[in-house]
Amino acid sequence: MNETRASSLSGIPFAVLFALLLGLFVAGFVHGVWHQVIGIAIPSVILFAIVAFLCKGFFQVQPNQGVVLLLFGRYAGTAREPGLRWTNPFYAKRAVSLRVRNFESSKLKVNDADGNPIEIAAVIVWKVVDTAEAVFQVDAYENYVQIQGESALRQMAQSYPYDSHEEPRPSLRSHGDEITRHLREQIQERLGKAGVEVLEARISHLAYAQEIAQAMLQRQQAGAIIAARTRIVQGAVSMVQMALEQLSRQDIVNLDEERRAAMVSNLLVVLCGERATQPVLNTGTLYQG
Could you report the per-residue pLDDT of 39-66, keeping only the tens digit for each? 666 776 777 788 888 889 999 999 999 9
Which range, 69-73, 161-165, 277-281, has the best average confidence (pLDDT)? 69-73
pLDDT at 53: 87
Which residues pair with residue 102 across a beta bridge?
Answer: 125
By the 8 A CB rule, do 83 and 11 touch?
yes
Select the more confidently predicted residue: 67 or 165. 67
**Is 177 a residue whose pLDDT tops 70?**
yes
Rounded to an integer, the average pLDDT of 135-142 is 91
Q: How far apart are CA 104 and CA 180, in angstroms?
A: 15
Residue 140: half-sphere exposure toward Cβ, Cα within 13 Å: 5
Q: Which residues contact 53 (CB under 8 A, 6 or more apart)?
A: 89
**Is 287 a residue whose pLDDT tops 60?**
no
Q: How far apart are CA 58 and CA 14, in angstroms?
A: 9
Could you report the per-residue pLDDT of 20-33, keeping only the tens digit for each? 877 777 776 666 66
Angle between helices 257-272 and 210-249 (to 10 degrees): 140
| DSSP result, 169-204 | S--TTT-HHHHHHHHHHHHHHHHGGGTEEEEEEEEE
Provide the percentage of residues in the chain whose pLDDT is more than 90. Answer: 37
- Of all helices (H) and strands (E), which one includes residue 9? strand 9-10
Could you report the per-residue pLDDT of 252-286, keeping only the tens digit for each? 666 667 767 777 776 767 666 666 666 665 555 55
**Is 170 a residue whose pLDDT tops 80?**
yes
C-alpha distances (whole Å) from 181 to each of 22, 124, 138, 198 are: 59, 12, 25, 11
Select the more confidently predicted residue: 167 or 82. 82
Domains recognised in the chain with CATH numbers = 9-96 (no CATH), 101-208 (3.30.479.30), 216-272 (no CATH)
Residue 242 zone, left/alpha/beta (φ > 0; ψ -120 to 50; rest): alpha
**Is 108 a residue whose pLDDT tops 50?**
yes
What confidence category does residue 289 fall into, taking pLDDT thresholds of 50, 70 and 90? very low
Which range, 99-103, 232-236, 243-247, 285-289, has the best average confidence (pLDDT)? 99-103
Could you report the per-residue pLDDT of 181-230, keeping only the tens digit for each? 999 999 999 998 899 999 999 999 988 887 765 666 666 666 666 777 77
Rounded to an integer, the average pLDDT of 68-95 is 93
pLDDT at 38: 58
What confidence category does residue 132 fall into, taking pLDDT thresholds of 50, 70 and 90? very high
Rounded to the nearest integer, the mean pLDDT of the chain is 82
